[in-house]
Each structure stands twice: as C-alpha cells, then as structure tokens.
C-alpha cells in the first residue's frame, strides 16, 4: 500500500527501532515472504485475482497474522493485484489471469503490533522478452536501492540508485507514488521517492525501517487513477512492474526483513 506523493513540508521525526523491535518486524516480514511465495507459486493462466486474495488471507490466518491492507482507508482486499498496465493498488476480483500477463502482488502483514510490507511482479506463463527485461531491471533497481540503506548515507542515495538504473535501461520511475517508513504503522516517515528531484537527503541512521519499492513503467512515468479510487495505471497503457522489501538500517548494513 503505497504513499501518494505530497507537497514538501517539514517531515515528522523518523521513528528509530531497537534491535528487539527490528526482530519483531522480522517475524512480520517472514509472514509477508511466505504469503508472497505461495501467491507467486499459485499464479497461472486461468487463476482469478480473487483466488489469490483468498489464498493470502488464509495463509496469514494460518500464521497468526492480520493482513494490513484490508480495511485500510476503506481498501476492500488483503492484497493488491495489479495486472499489466496497472501500476499498484489493483483490487482483486473476477479478473482471470492470461498467458503473457504480468501481475504485481503486494501484501502487508501485522504480527503482534508490528508491520512489514513487500511486493513482487510475477509472469503469468510465458511472457515476452521485453516484459521479462522490465521485471529484471525493476528487481535490480530494488536491490541497488537497498544497497544504499547504510548508516551515514542519505535517503536520496537510495532514490538516485533506483532512478539511475531504471533510466539507464530506458524505463521511467513513477513520480506520483513513493515508498515509506514502516513500523507500528504502515506509513511512517520518511517518504522514499524513486527519483532524486525534490527527494530528501536525510541522513540514514541505525534503527530506520524502510519500505523501498521501485515502481517502473516501460513507457511514460505518468499515471492515472481509476474510478475505483485505488487502481493506478500507466497513462499510455505501457507495462509496469513493482518490487518491494521492508529493510532495516543496522550497524552491519542493510537487513531485508521480508526475505523468506
């Protein structure tokens, strides 16, 4: 569940987490990783996005967690399932996945009061080489951003690493939506753009927990919002991809909390 970009203003203070609190977030992150792995394995031609939502909810319940998206500002489902030109926040329903589609799967979980959030974009059957390259570049951009999440570096170093890799490969990063801090709340300071222009150069400190998430379009960076009030899609109808991890800044470097 992404944060919409807002006009710059003085940011609230970033909430630093203790080692114990990061360990608790790691438990929530394991739930997220398990759910996304099961969803990715279930993706196939003929599967409905509502089926994936049901699987996510059942898995979270099995693991003792609460899906964090359902009911958030009225959102009606446990996952976001965004297909092809849908960038984020696609609402699961009767849509049937077809061979060659891309489906972005975004899931958050709450466990013992702590949250984690991650996303993957998954091919449905065999996909075109151009679509596969978009997935590869977006995934690489995520890990390049994560590599910058070190104490003493700056938030805009994450933004620059993502933007540089994406644009070097001929794609564009979405400007209307950004990553975010995370912890007790799904959205905490700071905002984490995937672009440098106007991005904060806040110094990174041990204890920061960040949802880093490149949203990358094959065509224009511009997006539109559907009448449902949730689904963002590319203005030109081009494909989009989205990858995300919840990451902790630690004395030993970045730690991904949403790995299996």
User: Nearest-CA neighbor of 138 among 245, 8, 17, 10?
Assistant: 245
Per DSSP, what are the bridge partners of residue 215? 242
Domain contains 2 = no
Residue 129: what pLDDT?
98
This prediction has a pTM of 0.96
Domain that holds residue 184: 14-256
Q: Do the beta carbons of residue 121 and residue 102 sit within 8 Å?
A: yes
Phi first, then psi, for residue 55 (nearest 5°) are -65, -40
Pull the structure tokens for residue 118: 């991650």
What total of structural domains would you count in the chain?
Answer: 1
**Cis amide bond preceding 190, omega within 30:** yes
Domain contains 4 = no
Distance of CA 165 to CAs 116, 145, 159, 169, 216, Å? 25, 10, 10, 7, 11
Domain contains 3 = no
Domain contains 8 = no
Domain contains 167 = yes
Domain contains 22 = yes
Per DSSP, what are the bridge partners of residue 253? 250
Residue 1: what pLDDT?
72
Domain contains 168 = yes
Strands (E), the chain: 3-4, 66-67, 79-83, 86-88, 102-111, 114-123, 172-173, 177-181, 188-192, 209-212, 215-217, 223-225, 232-234, 240-242, 245-250, 253-256
pLDDT tens sequence for the chain (260 residues): 776 654 344 456 899 999 999 999 999 999 999 999 999 999 999 999 999 999 999 999 999 999 999 999 999 999 999 999 999 999 999 999 999 999 999 999 999 999 999 999 999 999 999 999 999 999 999 999 999 999 999 999 999 999 999 999 999 999 999 999 999 999 999 999 999 998 999 999 999 999 999 999 999 999 999 999 999 999 999 999 999 999 999 999 999 999 98
Pull the structure tokens for residue 217: 């379009």
Residue 10: what pLDDT?
43
- CATH number for the domain spanning 122: value is 3.90.230.10
What's the rounded Cα separation, in Å, for the pair 73 and 221?
A: 26
Residue 4: what pLDDT?
63
What's the rounded Cα separation, in Å, for the pair 104 and 131?
A: 13
106: Cβ–Cβ under 8 A, 6 or more apart, which residues? 1, 69, 79, 80, 82, 88, 89, 117, 118, 119, 242, 244
Domain contains 1 = no
């Amino acid at each position: 569940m992404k944060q919409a970009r807002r006009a710059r203003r003085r940011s609230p203070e970033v909430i630093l987490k203790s080692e114990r609190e990061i360990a608790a977030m790691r438990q929530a992150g394991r739930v997220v990783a398990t759910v996304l792995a099961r969803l990715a394995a279930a993706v196939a031609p003929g599967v409905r996005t509502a089926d994936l939502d049901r699987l996510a909810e059942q898995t979270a319940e099995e693991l003792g967690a609460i899906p964090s998206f359902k009911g958030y500002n009225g959102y009606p489902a446990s996952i976001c399932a965004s297909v092809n030109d849908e960038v984020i926040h696609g609402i699961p329903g009767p849509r049937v996945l077809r061979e060659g589609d891309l489906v972005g799967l975004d899931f958050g979980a709450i466990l013992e009061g702590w949250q984690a959030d991650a996303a993957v974009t998954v091919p449905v059957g065999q996909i075109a080489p151009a679509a596969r390259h978009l997935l590869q570049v977006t995934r690489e951009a995520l890990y390049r951003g994560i590599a910058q999440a070190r104490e003493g570096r700056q938030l805009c170093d994450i933004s620059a690493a993502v933007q540089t890799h994406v644009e070097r490969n001929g794609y564009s990063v979405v400007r209307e939506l950004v990553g975010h801090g995370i912890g007790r709340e799904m959205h905490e300071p700071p905002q984490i753009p995937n672009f440098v222009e106007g991005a904060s150069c806040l110094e990174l400190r041990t204890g920061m927990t960040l949802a880093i998430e490149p949203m990358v379009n094959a065509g224009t960076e511009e997006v539109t919002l559907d009448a449902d009030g949730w689904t963002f899609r590319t203005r030109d109808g081009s494909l989009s991809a989205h990858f995300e991890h919840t990451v902790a800044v630690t004395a030993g470097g970045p730690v991904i909390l949403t790995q299996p």
